[in-house]
Amino acid sequence: MTSRETPDAGAPSAEPLALRLTGLTKVFNKTAVDHLDLCVQPGEFYALLGPNGAGKTTTLRMVGGLLPPTSGSIEIFGIDALRKPLEAKGITAWLPDEPMLYDKLDPLEYLEFVAGLWNVDPRRAEANAEELLNVLGLWEHRFERCEGFSRGMKQKVALAGALIHEPKLLMLDEPLTGLDAAIARQVKELLTRRVKAGATIILTTHILEVAERLASRIGIIAHGRLIAQGTLEELRRHAGSMHSSLEDVFLDLTGATEKAA
């Protein structure tokens, strides 16, 4: 449950770990991620939580191949992501907190473009696009340019783009920020279905109720290090408060880390 425990903690699986980080470190002017050891099992819905500046986004950017680590290793379903980045990226998707779209394209054109980047068979891409746009309530807007969309609609198009090639590992950085309740529910339902279908999801969020409701395991990082990991019940035991909410547990654990720093 803590960063000192074996990195293989969790349910046993014959399949390689969805994600294994070993000694992952990133130094800018100061250390943002500090020898992080972290493992995520295949098919898990994993919430990565931490205060602002804890290293969550930097970690996911390194896993997604957008930022080179200073040191350490990254394995995605047994693939060395630093030695074989294209192979790792082919089964991975990353959705940042700010949707990045080509505003002059409509949703269908955007999804066709993204599918082409991943060499998805055109018929499969067309079927996936129709399914995703229907599930996310965007089908009736499929011919409208993205430049006229609200932030929530843009976020849904970006999510569809992240899912178009059916990634085995999906990483989402604050995907519900700024979304209204109806759109947030659509996104949460889609993510839950993806996990049930076998995908692995890593989610960062400051909305702790979302992590409490959706995640099967939770990792908490502070100052670039994993300070606790496990199910909500395991985290409660670690914090010594069996009936506390995730918010209370989170504040207890991160507060103790701040005092010890």
The amino acid present at 240, given as its one-letter code, is G
Residue 239 and residue 256: Cα distance in Å, rounded? 10
Coil, strand, or helix at residue 95?
A: strand
Give CA–CA dist 185/243, Å, rounded: 26
pLDDT interval class at 114 (50, 70, 90) = very high
- Answer yes or no: are the C-beta atoms of 39 and 19 closer than 8 Å: yes
Which residues fall within 8 angstroms of residue 232, CB to CB, at 6 or more apart? Answer: 212, 218, 246, 249
Please give the Cα distance from 121 to 198 (Å, whole number). Answer: 21
Identify the pLDDT of residue 9: 45
Average pLDDT of 221-230? 95
Confidence (pTM): 0.88
Give SS3 for 87. helix
Least confident of 12-16, 181-185, 207-211: 12-16
Lowest mean pLDDT among 53-67, 79-93, 229-243: 229-243
pLDDT given at position 15:
78
Question: Percent of the chain scored above 70 by pLDDT?
Answer: 92
pLDDT digits (tens, 9 = 90+) for 23-69: 999 999 999 999 999 999 999 999 999 999 999 999 999 999 999 99
Phi, psi for 231 (deg, rounded to 5): -70, 170
Dihedral class, residue 10 (left if φ above 0, else alpha if ψ from -120 to 50, else beta): left
